[in-house]
Structure 1
Amino acid sequence: MRNPCVAHRGWSSRAPENTMAAIRLAIADPDVEWIEIDVHLSKDHIPVVIHDYTLRRTTNGKGDVKSKTAAEITSLDAGNWFSQKYQGERVPTLDQVLKEAVGYCKLNIELKTDGVRYPLIEEKVLECIQAYNAEKEVVITSFHEGALYRIRKLSSQIRTGLIIDGWRNTLPKELKELGSDFLSIGYSRLNKERIAMLKSAGIQVMAWTINEKRAIRKAAELDPDLMICTNYPERWHEARLKSVNR
């Protein structure tokens, strides 16, 4: 089993998701090749790393991310909900994540946008990436195709990818039209034939979110290059070890 491991929102089984604590754990493991993170824009147009459109679930704040400045968001406690051990952990900016990850671990940066909510998100995220000369270290993904079109217009160097929890045989053609060579797809939608179709079109495939060891092993059997996105990189390790010892 050689399938690349992607730490979903950082090592989110061991530290609060999308925080520097979870990201540092993933960076510290040489076998974790990728980290998936989620990016929104603050009121003052700073890319911040958090999953939800609202602050309530993963911080001690309230309201929409877009209604708060970056200073307000990064002052919130983003760790106590997970464990007292992480009390005081903050919401990081994308700049902070890039500063520590570039050169050590690749980043799958998901743009959390519906095409209306954050009209400047593509430009601001690109500015951060370019500031670290990290164009070859990242892939930008989104459920929203318009965001991918926008990225492609702004840069020919950044890889992009569609996120989808479904299947249609036109996906390779759609991705080509988007200028994308990456697909992030719900694991249950995949089989060997579909992965082969995508690979023959030059598309790299990531399956999400696979958290059980048995499911990780089954996914690995579909294709050795299939990227496995998981909250539990330790279970990816265990599945890999079992595969080796068979």
Structure 2
Amino acid sequence: MGYRKTAKQLGSKFLIAVVFLVVSAFILLCPLLIHSPCLIDVEDLKAKPDLFGHRGAPMLAPENTLMSFNRSATECNVKAFETDVQLSKDRIPFLMHDHKSEFLKRTTNITKNVSCGNQLTFDELKTLNAGEWFVEKDPFYTVHLLTENQKNDAKMQAIPSLQELLELAKQHNTKVIFDLYHPEHCDDNKDTVDTVTTILRSGIDQKLIYWLPPKNRDYVKNATDFIQIYGNESEMFQENGSHLNVKYSQLTIDKIRKLQEDNIKVNLYVVNERWLFSLLWCAGASSVTTNSCQVLNKMRNPDWTMAPSVYRMIWILVDVGSILTMIGLFVYQWKTNDSRHREGRTNVLLWTMPDNASVV
């Protein structure tokens, strides 16, 4: 009976020891399996991604206003103005993002209900204030960073035309990338033609125009030398394109690297945080569209990088130190238990001896 009990105890201890060793091995080895794009040798790090100002510099000025784009160029050194274009009733392309139920309501002081741009002339649009909302609502909690003069300038902003933005782009030699919005109930097939005509008449270098709208792309390709930007890989490869513009979460790190190896320019949106920008920088992204150009522009390196060989060496040393610590604890526990066991046997022997017995 005692033999069976001892065997059962030994079996339990053996099982516990195996589980302990397996779990310990997993904990010690799993860091070596961690994959991060910033585990990279310095010489393999690509150039810093270019910055595209999302509607300008919307943390520093009202979005899609000349003040916003000017600040993105002068203070953030953006390589492209990212914006949104719609057409007015008199066929003038103007800058405005909202194109559904919130059209003009979020970013202007309009008081009547208007569902799309071609219900108002550009002169009517120009009378609206497009900046007071920014100072009053402080959407990014950054208004306190503006001087009083800048706040006053922000309050005086109006809706710009595409022509005005193109003039600013020519002045700074900055690219322009935009969405072309025409809500279904206000659709007009001439939107693409009129927008292209406005760009060509501006005299801007056509290579500064990144054409993103997919509608009527064949007409644009035949009529211009604009750089064609695609919103998905399948269309890009089908059209033999070389520029991709997608949300950052749509591509894996490995996919970004593979596209770059294939000489595809990858722009990712909307990237505002330093840590995310650092990861995409390490992955080799060509550019990012951002609201926080004033923050990312100041970065000279990713927030964190480490050579793979250094990372492996650190974890190997940590693992060795951990193993030696566990062995030391095991030996200490074994010696402590053995000492207690011998002390216990001596006490039992002394307790069972007769009072008149002598120990030789």
Indicate the TM-score class for this superposition, using the shorter chain for normalisation. 0.7 to 0.9
Is structure 2 residue 125 aligned with structure 1 residue 73?
yes
Q: Distance in 2 between matches of 1:18 and 1:148?
A: 24
Q: Distance in 2 between matches of 1:133 and 1:30?
A: 22
Instruction: Give 1:178 shift.
Output: 3.8
Counterpart of 2:218?
A: 149
Q: Distance in 1 between matches of 2:74 and 2:82?
A: 15
State which of 159, 170, 176 in structure 2 corresponds to 1:102: 170
Structure that is richer in helix per residue: 2
User: Cα distance 1:201–1:45, how it changes in 2: closer, same or farther (>3 A)?
Assistant: farther
Greater shift after overlay, 236-245 or 60-69? Answer: 236-245
Greater shift after overlay, 110-119 or 61-70? Answer: 110-119
- 2:212 and 2:231 in contact (8 A); partners too: yes
Instruction: Give 1:112 shift.
Output: 2.0
- 2:179 and 2:212 in contact (8 A); partners too: yes
Q: Distance in 2 between matches of 1:206 and 1:179?
A: 17
Instruction: Give 1:174 shift.
Output: 2.0
- 1:123 and 1:154 in contact (8 A); partners too: no
When normalised by structure 1's length, the TM-score is: 0.85
Instruction: Give 1:68 shift.
Output: 0.9
User: Cα distance 1:240–1:139, how it changes in 2: closer, same or farther (>3 A)?
Assistant: same
State which of 105, 113, 123 in structure 2 corresponds to 1:56: 105
Q: Which amino acid aligns with 1:232?
A: S
Counterpart of 1:130?
A: 200
Structure that is richer in strand per residue: 1
Q: Which amino acid aligns with 1:51?
A: H
Counterpart of 2:187?
A: 117
Counterpart of 2:27?
A: none
Is structure 2 residue 179 aligned with structure 1 residue 91?
no
Q: Distance in 2 between matches of 1:181 and 1:129?
A: 22
- 2:53 and 2:290 in contact (8 A); partners too: yes
Q: Distance in 1 between matches of 2:190 and 2:260?
A: 32
Q: Distance in 2 between matches of 1:184 and 1:139?
A: 10
Q: Distance in 1 between matches of 2:75 and 2:159?
A: 22
Instruction: Give 1:122 shift.
Output: 1.5
Q: Distance in 1 between matches of 2:191 and 2:280?
A: 33
User: Cα distance 1:91–1:231, how it changes in 2: closer, same or farther (>3 A)?
Assistant: same
Size of the alignment, in residue pairs?
A: 235
Determine helix, strand or coil for the equivalent of 1:32.
coil
Q: Which amino acid aligns with 2:181?
A: K
Of structures 1 and 2, the larger Rg is shown by 2
Q: Distance in 2 between matches of 1:152 and 1:236?
A: 33
Is structure 2 residue 79 aligned with structure 1 residue 8?
no
Q: Which amino acid aligns with 2:196?
A: L
- 1:159 and 1:181 in contact (8 A); partners too: no
Q: Distance in 2 between matches of 1:126 and 1:179?
A: 22
Greater shift after overlay, 99-108 or 11-20? Answer: 99-108
Counterpart of 1:168?
A: none
Counterpart of 2:92?
A: 46
Is structure 2 residue 274 aligned with structure 1 residue 206?
no
State which of 67, 70, 76 in structure 2 corresponds to 1:24: 70
Identical counterparts, % of pairs = 23
Could you tell me which runs of 5 or more consecutive residues in structure 2 were left unpaired when the two chains were aligned: 1-46, 137-150, 307-360
Is structure 2 residue 270 aligned with structure 1 residue 221?
no
Determine helix, strand or coil for the equivalent of 1:205.
strand
Greater shift after overlay, 126-135 or 8-17? Answer: 126-135
- 1:216 and 1:239 in contact (8 A); partners too: no
Q: Distance in 1 between matches of 2:293 and 2:238?
A: 33
- RMSD (CA atoms): 2.4
Q: Which amino acid aligns with 2:93?
A: P
Instruction: Give 1:202 shift.
Output: 4.1
Determine helix, strand or coil for the equivalent of 1:211.
coil
Cα deviation, 1:137-180, whole Å, max 9, x if unaligned, reads: 110113xx32433422433x11121235xxxxxx2x52143464
Q: Distance in 2 between matches of 1:119 and 1:179?
A: 25
Greater shift after overlay, 81-90 or 12-21? Answer: 81-90
Instruction: Give 1:213 shift.
Output: 1.3
Q: Which amino acid aligns with 1:19?
A: T
Q: Distance in 1 between matches of 2:272 and 2:76?
A: 20
TM alignment of 1:148-167, pairs within 5 A: 148-155=217-224, 157-163=225-231
